[in-house]
Amino acid sequence: MTQNQHQSMRRSAIVLVITATVMVVEILGGYAFNSMALLADGWHMGTHTLAIGITVFAYYYAKSMQLIKRLLLAVGKWKFSVGTPARSYYS
């Protein structure tokens, strides 16, 4: 990942934590003060938390796939360098 992508991933994770915290505070405040408006807004913040969570998951998934591709490429280079045949053992 580039430095800009890493920074975006980190910022998205921070926004996720802030949004989830506000959501919990609003829901608890709505229950404590019997406020339907706080409850509604708290549950609405839950949809925002879910959307931002999907974004953070996508960043981490892309980062892990990049690592896996790098590792698979390294294994392929290793096989090529030791001279293993190109076709499968079982074919």
Average pLDDT by consecutive 10-residue portion of the chain (91 residues)? 84 96 97 96 96 93 77 58 54 48
pLDDT number for residue 55: 92
pLDDT number for residue 82: 54
Domain contains 85: no
Domain contains 91: no
Domain contains 46: yes
Total domains, the chain: 1
Nearest to 26 by CA among 34, 38, 9, 37: 38
Tell me 86's DSSP state. S
Domain contains 84: no
pLDDT number for residue 88: 52
Domain contains 82: no
pLDDT number for residue 75: 56
| Whether the model pTM is above 0.75 | no
Domain contains 70: yes
Q: Supply 3's token pair.
A: 């430095």
Query: What's the domain range around 63?
Result: 3-76
Domain contains 83: no
pLDDT number for residue 66: 77
Position 89, amino acid = Y
Domain contains 23: yes
Q: Please, what sign has the CA dihedral across residues 43, 48, 49, 51? A: positive
